[in-house]
Amino acid sequence: MMGEKIKKDIYILNRWDKTAQLYAVLKIYLTYGMIRPSEIIDMKITDTDEGNDKINYINVVSKKIVINNHKNDRKGPKIIDITDQKLNGILWKGLDKYLITNHNNEIYTCSSSFLKMFKNNFDNHNPYDLRKCISSLAIHEGDADKINQLEHNQGHPLNIILKNYNTYNKKFENHIKIFL
């Protein structure tokens, strides 16, 4: 599991390798909600907004995730504030690189290859399983702020989240612990 790997090597998050990349992706998912694989597979980490109006990127200076190419939102870029300072510090290690790369340090050419890698690293679970866990937990806990954040970040209104992603009703902590 990711948590055990990091405990054994405390410097693992000081370099931008596959483990640090997966940690950052997972931390984004768990903190801000599930971003679609198609939106994350070519996400660049940068320190400027200039020249990035056609790509999805993370600006570590302004502490924002900017999704210019979003499936459900055609009203302009979706912007997610990075409030987790530890995550932002880790993202600095990947400055001018991509958030997640394959074993050849190249961006994933399609979502399915990213999904396969994710499943291989997280006990055969995919990001959509995680999305269902996070959505179900927020609804179960009645956390209005988290639900509003999920609506914004995932690009779905509450009725869609309730219909399609509120699938776990018991032992939420056990489902989320699978990923940690």
- Residue 95 in 3-state DSSP? coil
Q: Tens of pLDDT along 58-110?
A: 999 999 999 998 876 667 898 999 999 999 999 999 999 999 999 999 999 99
Phi, psi of 152 (to 5 degrees): -65, -50
Higher pLDDT, 140 or 45: 45
Q: What residue numbers bound the domain in which 82 lies? A: 2-177
Higher pLDDT, 4 or 104: 104
User: What average pLDDT does the segment 108-127 reach?
Assistant: 91
> What's the rounded Cα separation, in Å, for the pair 76 and 27?
25
Positive or negative torsion for Cα 153, 159, 160, 164 = positive
Contact indicator for 99, 19 with CB cutoff of 8 Å:
no
CA 39 to chain centroid, in Å, comes to: 10
Q: What global pTM score does this model have?
A: 0.81
According to the model, what pLDDT value does residue 49 have?
97
Q: Tens of pLDDT along 123-148?
A: 888 888 887 777 777 777 888 888 88
CA 14 to chain centroid, in Å, comes to: 19
| 65, β-bridge pairs | 58, 80
Higher pLDDT, 116 or 144: 116
According to the model, what pLDDT value does residue 172 have?
47
> What's the rounded Cα separation, in Å, for the pair 28 and 123?
19
- Percent of the chain at pLDDT above 70? 82
Higher pLDDT, 117 or 127: 117
Higher pLDDT, 111 or 132: 111
Contact indicator for 44, 58 with CB cutoff of 8 Å:
yes
The total of structural domains in the chain comes to: 1
Give the mean pLDDT of the chain: 83
Encode 147-173: b = buried (16+ Cβ within 10 Å), e = exposed.
bebbbebbbbeeeebeeebbebeeebe
pLDDT at 27 over 80: yes
